[in-house]
């Protein structure tokens, strides 16, 4: 597109500041807030569906199906929370304007988040080999559906966070991008305990 | 579709923004300009409306004259019939009402009416249209795959929609779900843009209560859409898995529950009605104030009732499931909330009538459409009361009474509301006036046949005619002489109405070619879009406007002119 | 007097709503639906309905309400500044 209004560095994610007055919330953050509202409802729908299927079953979990690894996932949840805490430190440093001491917690948050997703992947492989599949029962189907959709969101959030980190290394991380990325990651972390309580326990 | 956008006269201000000459493709197909994207949505929506209207023609012919060879289609087989009905419903709601009312008017009007040069996320906006176009192409492609288009009604209730051995459209059903899913993603992106732009990019001086009503309505509608679509997306993924991976989310034999789908679907499905209704109500507000030269009666009341409608719209959806075996305790709660929601809507109608009262009314074409919207929608609303009562609904459920009721709501919204908006903003969009005489011929030629299509259907529905029957000759109670006559009346009226749409297209094209030049403000309206050139150049204004007052200051005592534009200091 | 009659009306409406909740008995209108044959599933449907209905309303009330309040507050501040 033309260069005049949308500047060259603009990729559609970085909103253009169009007015002189200061908005209550930056464009990128407001957009992400609205997106997260939608996502919360997506998970609300999934969790509701799961609750109904669970209550309709005579025995839950269905007999003859492998059990979900509650302890290992509890450990993994702690890793996820640690990543959110690391991001909080980055948040603090960012708002103090201290870009140097922000780098380490950013890398830590990214690393722990990636560990969570990879660990989940290993868990899936084990469960699949034990005979829990999408077609073996609604138990398995809902497990892979809900946890899978959460994992997809985790992927997206990590990608956005990595992008923010890349910008940080280049030295022009904007509050809009960082705010949106951290908000999405906090959403992914925040929705996980609900999933753990409903699906695993 | 997008290619049919007419070449606009090159505007003299283009150079002010330092734009190099653009090729046709980059100017009209890959543009991030909100006006071009709005047009793309509008023309795509109109093309889809033609397809949806043609489908209605084909299956109405079958109902009035069973087994006849329908011109341009051929004999309508039972499989054809179900696919046509299904896709007519889905197209008219998801590919006509939503893109035109929310996306086209939202894209075109929001930056112009709040006084900024473009959307805040222009590239996301372009992506939104591209995904939407893709979804339309995907939907149409379902007609050409093995087994044909999906025929399980636009509500896609499982188990019919979940298993190929029931619906006999192994590919069509999944393509249908995929197309609807893509369409939702497109509107999600669009909705984020609309809300953020209207909230964050307003012109200096424009306070919250200075925003024109149509913008508020589009914003509220976008919020409703965004928070209601999640559960349906979840349900759609589950349905797709049932179809393609053999899971059993909705299969009662293997631990699933088919009512679960209805639960997730109608959680979105009912707010969706208000998602398309609110923009149409907003368009009406703009038009009746301009053409009766009066201030909108009780601006804040309209806004608050719109918010109230939005809140209540989340509490009424289970009224679609009164006979699905839901808990009767729930049915009664939902009866009450359903009847309650008529109150804010009625309040808005009264506010509009109060606005008209004592005004200097000028019955130009847009005003006729706006008045017709109020009148026809009222009939739709009043018949809804019968269906909202769970006792009456047991008899009326899935009859033509339901069908006539929601056509009396959706037709005023999607067709009358759209024509009102298009005839009103046409001078701004293309810089030319539309012919008022042809506009009025088109108006009466649409409204009168419309009533003759659907009033007979109320009687047929009350007489027990079921919605999903291919040929009524097989049912002695429904095949009687009187009932068949009503069906023929409805179909004939449909043909008349479709014929009169040619007047609109003729008017549209001739006005584009040799219409009278419109000038900046042909209707003498207050809102900001009328202070820009017609059509507005890329960037909308040379200098962005400043706002000093609300949008509806008409006939202010002591002023020479009877209107007071928002950007005039005094 | 007016307040009293308003309160009376409120109680009347509450009573009607309460009666509507208590009165209905179970009736399976749909002959082929396998859903909600037992009380546990019925309760799950009622519970998730309430959850899905009030979650978005609660979120909107918090987020949009906060945003609108902040905006109005800021508009007021600006007005005061320009008056000075």
What pLDDT sits at residue A3? Answer: 32
Asked if residue C21 belongs to a domain, the reply is: no
Encode B391-406: b = buried (16+ Cβ within 10 Å), e = exposed: eebeebbebbbbbbbb
**pLDDT surpasses 80 at C3:** no
Sign of the CA dihedral running B223, B184, B283, B92: negative
Shortest Cα distance, chain A CAs vs residue C48, angstroms: 5
Encode A102-119: b = buried (16+ Cβ within 10 Å), e = exposed: beebbebbbebbbebbeb
How many Cβ atoms from other residues are within 10 Å of residue C26's Cβ? 12
Asked if residue B194 belongs to a domain, the reply is: yes
Q: Once rounded to an integer, what is the mean pLDDT over residues B195-218?
A: 92
Of chain B, the percentage scoring pLDDT greater than 90 comes to 75
Provide the pLDDT confidence category of residue B18 given band limits of 50, 70 and 90.
very low
Question: Which residues in chain A are contacts of C53 at CB distance < 8 A?
Answer: none
Pairing of strands B74-75, B69-70: antiparallel
A120-129, B218-227, C29-38, range with the lowest pLDDT: C29-38
Are C52 and B331 in contact (CB < 8 Å)? no
**pLDDT surpasses 90 at B159:** no
Asked if residue B22 belongs to a domain, the reply is: no
Q: How many domains does chain C have?
A: 1
Q: Which domain holds residue B361?
A: 38-531
Q: How many domains does chain B have?
A: 1
Alpha-carbon distance values, A5 to A16, A48, B60, B277 (Å): 9, 45, 50, 34
Asked if residue C83 belongs to a domain, the reply is: yes
Cβ of residue C43 closer than 8 Å to a chain A Cβ:
yes
Bond from prior residue into B159 cis (ω within 30 degrees of 0):
yes
Helix (H) or strand (E) holding B69: strand B69-70
Tokens of B272: 């969706």
* B240: nearest CA partner in chain A: A145
Asked if residue C2 belongs to a domain, the reply is: no
Q: Which of C37, C40, C45 to mutate to test the interface with B (most CBs of B within 10 A)?
A: C45
Asked if residue B85 belongs to a domain, the reply is: yes
Cβ neighbours for B54, distance < 8 A, ≥ 6 positions apart: B72
Query: Over its length of 201 residues, how does chain A's per-residue pLDDT go in tens digits?
Result: 333 333 333 444 444 444 445 678 888 899 999 999 999 999 999 999 999 999 888 888 888 888 899 999 999 999 999 999 999 999 999 988 888 888 999 999 999 999 999 999 999 999 999 989 988 889 999 999 999 999 999 999 999 999 999 999 998 888 888 999 999 999 999 999 999 999 988
Separation between Cα atoms, residue A155 and residue A151, nearest integer Å: 6
Domain spans, chain A: 72-200
Q: Once rounded to an integer, what is the mean pLDDT over residues B484-497?
A: 95
**Check whether domain A72-200 has CATH 1.20.120.80, yes or no:** yes
Asked if residue B161 belongs to a domain, the reply is: yes
Asked if residue C77 belongs to a domain, the reply is: yes
CA atoms within 13 A on the CB side of B310: 29
Asked if residue C18 belongs to a domain, the reply is: no
Question: Which residues in chain C are contacts of B199 at CB distance < 8 A?
Answer: 67, 71
Helix (H) or strand (E) holding B143: none
User: Can you give the CATH number for the domain in which B283 is found?
Assistant: 1.20.210.10
What pLDDT sits at residue B2? Answer: 37
Are C52 and A44 in contact (CB < 8 Å)? yes
What pLDDT sits at residue A19? Answer: 45
**pLDDT surpasses 50 at B9:** no
Are C20 and B394 in contact (CB < 8 Å)? no
Q: Once rounded to an integer, what is the mean pLDDT over residues B457-483?
A: 90
Asked if residue B560 belongs to a domain, the reply is: no
Alpha-carbon distance values, A119 to A63, A85, A110, A184, B306 (Å): 26, 19, 14, 20, 47
What is the ipTM, given to two decimal places? 0.91
Asked if residue B106 belongs to a domain, the reply is: yes
Strand pairing partners for B75? B69
Asked if residue C43 belongs to a domain, the reply is: yes
Separation between Cα atoms, residue A72 and residue B477, nearest integer Å: 65
Tens digit of pLDDT for each residue in B287-306? 999 999 999 999 999 999 99
Are C45 and B329 in contact (CB < 8 Å)? no
Strand pairing partners for B517? B432
Cβ of residue C28 closer than 8 Å to a chain B Cβ:
yes
Tokens of B153: 């009604």
Tens digit of pLDDT for each residue in B40-50? 999 999 999 99
Question: Which residues in chain B are contacts of C41 at CB distance < 8 A?
Answer: 257
* A47: nearest CA partner in chain C: C48
Top pLDDT among B357 and C8 is at B357
């Amino acid at each position: 597109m033309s260069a005049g209004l949308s500047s060259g560095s603009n990729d559609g994610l970085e909103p253009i500041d169009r007015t002189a007055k200061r908005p209550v919330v930056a464009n990128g953050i407001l957009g992400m807030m609205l997106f997260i509202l939608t996502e919360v409802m997506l998970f609300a729908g999934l969790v509701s569906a799961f609750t109904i299927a669970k209550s309709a079953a005579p025995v839950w979990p269905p007999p003859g199906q492998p059990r979900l690894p509650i302890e290992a996932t509890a450990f993994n949840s702690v890793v996820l929370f640690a990543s959110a805490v690391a991001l909080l430190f980055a948040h603090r440093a960012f708002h103090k304007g201290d870009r140097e001491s922000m780098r380490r917690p950013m890398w830590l948050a990214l690393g722990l988040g990636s560990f969570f997703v990879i660990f989940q992947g290993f868990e899936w492989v084990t469960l699949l080999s034990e005979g829990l599949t999408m077609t073996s029962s609604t138990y398995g189907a809902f497990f892979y559906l809900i946890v899978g959709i959460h994992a997809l969101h985790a992927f997206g959030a990590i990608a956005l966070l990595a992008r923010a980190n890349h910008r940080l290394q280049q030295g022009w991380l904007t509050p809009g991008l960082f705010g949106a990325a951290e908000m999405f990651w906090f959403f992914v972390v925040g929705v996980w305990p609900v999933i753990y309580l409903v699906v695993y326990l | 579709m997008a290619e049919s956008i007419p070449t606009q006269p090159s505007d003299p201000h283009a150079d002010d923004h330092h734009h190099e000459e653009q090729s046709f493709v980059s100017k009209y197909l890959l543009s991030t300009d909100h006006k071009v994207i709005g047009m793309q949505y509008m023309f795509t929506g109109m093309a889809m409306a033609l397809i949806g209207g043609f489908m209605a023609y084909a299956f109405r012919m079958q109902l009035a004259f069973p087994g006849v060879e329908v011109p341009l289609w051929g004999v309508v087989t039972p499989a054809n019939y179900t696919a046509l009905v299904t896709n007519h419903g889905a197209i008219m709601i998801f590919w006509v009402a939503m893109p035109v009312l929310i996306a086209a008017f939202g894209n075109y009007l929001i930056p112009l009416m709040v006084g900024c040069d473009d959307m805040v996320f222009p590239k996301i906006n372009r992506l939104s249209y591209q995904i939407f176009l893709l979804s339309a192409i995907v939907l149409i492609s379902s007609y050409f795959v093995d087994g044909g288009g999906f025929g399980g009604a636009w509500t896609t209730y499982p188990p019919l929609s979940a298993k190929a051995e029931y619906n006999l459209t192994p590919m069509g059903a999944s393509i249908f779900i995929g197309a609807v899913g893509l369409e939702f993603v497109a509107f999600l992106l669009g909705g984020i843009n609309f809300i953020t732009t209207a909230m964050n990019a307003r012109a200096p001086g424009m306070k919250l209560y200075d925003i024109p009503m149509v913008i508020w309505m589009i914003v509220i509608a976008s919020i409703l859409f965004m928070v209601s679509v999640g559960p349906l997306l979840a349900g759609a993924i589950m349905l797709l898995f049932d179809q393609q991976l053999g899971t059993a989310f909705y299969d009662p034999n293997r631990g699933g529950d088919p009512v679960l789908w209805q639960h997730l679907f109608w959680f979105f499905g009912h707010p969706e009605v208000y998602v398309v209704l609110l923009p149409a109500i907003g368009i009406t507000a703009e038009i009746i104030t301009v053409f009766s030269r009066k201030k909108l009666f009780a601006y804040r009341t309209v806004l608050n009732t719109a918010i109230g409608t939005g809140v209540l719209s989340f509490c009424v959806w289970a009224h679609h499931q009164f006979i699905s075996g839901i808990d009767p305790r729930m049915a009664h709660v939902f009866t009450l909330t359903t009847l309650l929601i008529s109150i804010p809507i009625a309040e808005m109608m009264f506010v509009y009538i109060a606005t008209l009262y004592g005004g200097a009314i000028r019955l130009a074409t847009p005003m006729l459409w706006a008045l017709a919207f109020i009148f026809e929608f009222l009939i739709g609303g009043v018949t809804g009361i019968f269906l909202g009562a769970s006792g009456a609904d047991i008899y009326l459920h899935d009859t033509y009474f339901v069908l006539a009721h929601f056509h009396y709501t959706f037709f005023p919204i999607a067709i009358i509301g759209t024509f009102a908006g298009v005839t009103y903003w046409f001078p701004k969009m293309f810089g030319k006036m539309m012919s008022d005489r042809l506009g009025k011929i088109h108006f009466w030629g649409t409204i009168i046949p419309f009533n003759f299509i659907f009033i007979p259907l109320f009687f047929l529905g009350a007489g027990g005619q079921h919605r999903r029957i291919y040929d009524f000759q097989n049912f002695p109670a429904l095949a009687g002489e009187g009932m068949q006559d009503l069906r023929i009346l409805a179909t004939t009226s449909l043909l008349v109405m479709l014929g009169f749409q040619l007047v609109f297209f003729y008017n549209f094209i001739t006005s584009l070619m040799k219409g009278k030049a419109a000038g900046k403000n042909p209707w003498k309206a207050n809102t900001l879009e009328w202070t820009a050139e017609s059509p507005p150049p890329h960037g909308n204004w040379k200098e962005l406007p400043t706002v000093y007052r609300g949008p509806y200051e008409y006939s202010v005592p002591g002023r020479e002119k009877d209107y007071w534009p928002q950007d005039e200091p005094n | 007097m007016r307040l009293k009659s308003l309160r009376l009306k409120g109680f009347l409406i509450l009573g009607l709503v309460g009666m509507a909740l208590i009165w209905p008995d179970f009736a399976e209108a749909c002959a082929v639906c396998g859903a909600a044959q037992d009380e546990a599933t019925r309760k799950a449907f009622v519970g998730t309905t309430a959850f899905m209905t009030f979650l978005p309303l609660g979120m909107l009330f918090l987020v949009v309400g906060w945003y609108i309040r902040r905006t109005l507050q800021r508009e007021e501040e600006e007005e005061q500044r320009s008056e000075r």
